[in-house]
Every structure is written in C-alpha cells, then in structure tokens.
Structure 1
C-alpha cells in the first residue's frame, strides 16, 4: 500500500542518511556507520566517493569533506544551507550519468554503491531536543470532538503554533518494535477507578518533522523568513500515543508519559532544497499574526502527500531498522488515511520561529514536528482517535479478516504494524521526491520487575 520506494528516490531527491552494509565490497562500512545517499535501488557511501576522487579537488570545502567522514550527519548539518546545496549539487553531477546511461557507470563509482537490500539504516542524526507542535486546524477540531464532543480550537491556536517538549531518548529509526507502555488511566468513569496497567488505547499520529541544521544564538528570535537557513531537511514522524494515559495526565501540564514512550522517524533526511520546488502559498490567516510568522499568500507550505497503512505485523527482520534488511514488506496493509501536508495552518518555518521567539536557542540535530496532519473529511484523519471518533466507531482492517477473525480496531493491538509514507510530485516521474517508509510494530507490554 505504501508508495513504491524505488520511484520515490529520483535524481531530484538524493536524501542523506546513515547506514552500515552487509556487502563486503565496501568493507570500511560493514561495522562502521557512514553517510549515504540513495538513487532508486542503490545506496552510495559518500566517504567512499570522496576516497575514490569522485568529488574532485575543488568541488567541496575542507569542512564539508571532513563532515562527510563522520558517523552522523550532525557535522554536515551544522554547516548551513550553502554547504548542503554544494553536497547535493555534487551528488547530482556525479550520479546523473547513472540515470542517463546505467550501463556506463565507472568502476570508481560502482565501488561506492550497494543495493538497498544490503544496507542497515540507523538514526541519521544525534538528536538533541524534540518539540512537537499542533499545526493542523482539522486535527485540533476533530480531536476535540472525539474527546469532549466539542469542535473548538485551543485559546492560543490561531495566535501561534502550540507545542510541548518531547523526549529525544525514545526516538527510534523506522522498522523498530514499540512496546505497549504502562501508565495510569481511568478504568471507569471516575478518578477513583484509576489503575496502573498497560495502555489499552495505543494510537499512531501522522507527522512530518524538520531537522535543525545551523544552530541559533541564545536570546535571538529566528523569524520564519530566515528559518530556511536553519533547516537541514525533513523526515516522517510517528508520534506514538497512549490516549488513555494522555487523557488523565493532560490537565494541567499537558502530554507526558502518554507520548514519551516511543517516537519513530524515517531514516532518510530529505534535504530542504529537494522540497523547495513544491513550496505553495499559505492560505489567508483567520486573524492577524505576529510579524515573525509567515504572512498570508507567501510560499511556506509544502505540497506533500502523506499516507498511513495499518496491518498485521511483518515477520522479524523487516526493512529499514538497525539489525534488519531493507527488503521485507508486509503484504496485508489497509490504507488508514491520505492527507496533505499543505493543509496545516502553521508552517514548519513558523514552528521554528515560535520555538525561538522567547530567546530559546535551537541546536544542530534538534527535531521540530508538525503534530498530526489531518484533513476535514473521512479518509484524511491522521490518527485513530479521529478515525474511530475516540473509540466509538471501529476501523476495519482489510476485508475484516485476520486469521479467520473479524479485524476491527478502536486502537492498535499487539502485533499491528503502522507504515507511514510521503511524497511530492508524481510517483515515477523524474521530479518525484519521496520520504520512503516510517514503519513500526506494536508489541506486548513488558512485564514489570518488582
């Protein structure tokens, strides 16, 4: 159900990630992670490209060449948008020949690449701080209706992108298992019936996050008009949520243990330049906003299609996670939603502007997420809370059968797999820019040691 991976990784894309390989042809990265890019079904190790002289003597600065040798993308990310553009342009120049004449690839370049099936993807950056925002009007209204029966925006929503501080320690790369969390929640209708037990309402949330590149100075507000210089790129993000735990703990300080148990991101960072052709204008604001936000009519949203598929768990060793191959796919997925990133109210640049508006500094590797991306109609809701109206109307997997039993879901069950995907442009076209997969499987809660 997720869009075909190969078609998403065109020459117009060339994302960056961190990988090791099982292929002996690139022995230096069998156990040592390295920076990679992807073109269709092949992964290219940038350090090997540099060692083989493919970048040339004057193509990249010494700072960029040093950053390419590192085991995370933080060093390269910190150099700013100009450096990111130089690397992308250099990669496109080198790899263009492989798309025009695949059979004419040079031995030097062939020695730098392996099939996607021969790599293990890792977290692309060392993540410092993680902030999660609420940028979608539709999600805020749909969630309010599902929880309390009222379609009403929070008081500050139209004034700024509201958010909270998450936990970077629980962020994992696509393909990893997620343990059902323990927590406090109401078993009945009164606070007196609070229990401590494994959550009974685990949900997914479809989000996109930006990865901070160049850091900002403490005390300085970075306006949305200058945010591009601080954004390295973008990933898909699944903000796993335990709705029963979240409901009890929300007042008065907001999300905590109902959110912090797991967050999954896609392994490929889509560089900001790759998505720039897909920028579209911001619709008219409902009320005037502060000058440091994106004004109505100015390009600030990205025309990206997002999707979520849900199904039974794939076998152990699914692709994209540490210790697994990239090849296995789940054949029994059901489309849960398709939504549009440009439907959100606040832009990603607005998130960065608001994060720094009180003088808070952002650092290389920080992650800022959009919150659930939802539309106004059924089929575009980005989480089960909205799809099932708070556990009142079931979501049916496939034809309603898994192992001979009817498969209805109010929330996720142990063994369920969630696969998120996203792409800009037409899949299969030369201009398609895709994110690949953001995949995770929910597993049973761990027994507590007492």
Structure 2
C-alpha cells in the first residue's frame, strides 16, 4: 500500500519506529504519554510502535512516575543487552577494536600496535597486517565478552583516507598518505573475519566517525551544524549539518595553504597537513634546532615539545624555538579554520584527536585569534571553537555508532533498507519512456 508523498505504509511504520527508538535512546526513559509530543506521533501510533518494540525485546519497562491526578505512567527504555556493535579505529600507531552494548558500555577492548620503526611511514599500514589485526581483535573481543556474534548490529571501521563504494558493492579505501590505492577493505575483511554473513560492515573516514561521536554524545550535541576536526599525525575534518545525521568527511588537510610549499606526505606541496599535522610540526621543530627525544613516538615527542614551550615550573624559561614553531602552526591552523568558517559557516568547530587534545586550550586560544582575523567577520562572529569532550578514543566510539545509526534508520530492523520495497515510483517509468522515444 502506498501512502502520500511516494512513501509506502511500510516506510511510515519504519519512520515511526525510528522516531520512538531515537527519542528513547537519547532522552529516555520516557513514558508513552511523553513520547507523543517528543516524536510528533499520535497516542495510537506510539502505543502500536511500543507494543512491537517490547515484543521484539528492544524496549523494556523501567519503573514509573506519578502523573497529575491520574495513574502512574510506566517509563520505557532501550534494552541495552538486546544487541551490541564493534568499533574499529585503524589509527596512526595502533589498531583499536572495542565491543559495546547498545548503551555504549565497553564490553571488551583490544589494541594491536602498528610498527613505527620502518624506513617509510607507509610500512606500518601494510594491508595484510592491518586486516590481520582487525580480524584478531574482533575474535578476541567477542571471545572475552562471551557474546554471540549473531547479536552484532555490525562492525564500524574508521580509516585514514577516502572511502568509495562502487556499484558492485564493498567499501574501497583510497589512502594516499598511507600507500593504500583502491584497497577493497570490506571484501578483505569479509574473507578474513569469521563472522556470520548477515553482519554488515560500515567503513568510513576516521574524521567522520569522530564527528559522529562528538555530535551524538560530545561537544557537538545540540548544534545545528558543526565541523569536527581530527588532529593527529595529520589533520582531517567532518562537516555535519544535523546532529542526528551522518556527516561528510572532507580532505581538509590537503587544502593548499602555501604555493610550492613544504612537501606533504600525500606527495603534493604546500598542504595544510605539511605544516599543521603533529608529524610535520615535530619535523619543523627538529629542523629549527629543537631536540625531540631520540626514538620517541609522536605522542611522547609532542609532550616534550609542549613542556619545552610551556614550562610548568615558576620562573622557568620557555624554549623560544618550540614556542615559535607552535605559534606558526597555530597561524596555519587558524587560516585553515577560516576556510572552514567561510565555506560552511558552522555553529561550532570542535577539535579532537590525540594531538588536538594534547595541545589543548592554551594552543587553541592562538588558533581562535588567527581564525577570526582570516575569516569573514559575520560567520566568524557566529562560530564557537572548542575542544571535543570524548577523549582520544572517540574514533572507535564513532565507528561503533555507524551500525547503530543504520539500525535506527531501519526502525530497529536488521534487514537491508531495500528489502521488500515496492516498485519504483511512477515518475521514473514516465521519464524512461520519454527518453526512449
């Protein structure tokens, strides 16, 4: 049966279920009475949806509250043990795999280090090694938590680079900075990881998964639009126009900020990442005469640079070289932020990633000043720039949210979105006939 606007009755039921599940998830526990105005649904629709969700084991009662002059109202909430999901972060020094329940309580975690002492940075991202780490990590967290793999809503994976989805299916990763050229990651994982074929994979850019996490549960919550910046060895960004919808990853780190400038690890010259990523920042400090600890990883080296630039002891003298490099980096980042402000006019810009959080508010104050000076005054006056609140592991949380968001979008059903849908709308047939003449 087809409803108004080209939507079927099936579509409307799914949308009603989605509305109830989302409100219970983000604002619950709630009563049936409260769900009406919260979702815009009639009391009859709410009752029908809730009855179905309770029967399916997705929703349960959670006590009651007094009502004004009537019987107590039963509260409802999502059953946190009704399903679970896995989040994977293919990071800069490790592959992190976490298993969560529906409340995003961590059930198990595994970290697999990526080698950092090879002659080239891309050596650590050997495809076979990464796939093996993901496979082993998934097996380990499922075994540790004692979870039935059939309960999985899916596996979300955050990766560096651009993720394409060709018509023949399966996510393909183009990671120029890590030496991945059209890597069929989803196909490789399906062939390697012993999960039921029904368990879906959701592979996306790490900045996008970070953005998803911050918008749902962190500093972006309640914003109508935001740009979430991932600042680690390199830099990336996710543009979000709705707090409950998936954002769009943009290769912000590869905007040209200086013509014929420094060589970027992507192979081009003058990219923002060649000046503002942690890897480039530390390299520039070394070139200027700084002395990061020999053999230290990037996180340790950045810590020592910050300690040199901002000494904690009373009367301690700052390292002028480290301070100058950080200030120059703040200007480059400020100019990059100004581009984001002018292009997208967001309500908020949020900085996450291990390096961004380590640099902290003191560094961000300088970035804000430069961003305001380089951006157009009107959008600059309406943006708030701050740090993310979910910590350095937020990419993994965001990756786990990808299957959860898909589950909500399907109204709490695990079948593919297109399963059992009606024939194509009539306008498609009309246009095909017109163009065939």
Same fold (TM over 0.5): no
Q: Which structure: greater strand fraction?
A: 1
| TM-score, normalised relative to structure 1 | 0.23
Q: Which structure: greater helix fraction?
A: 2
| TM-score, normalised relative to structure 2 | 0.24
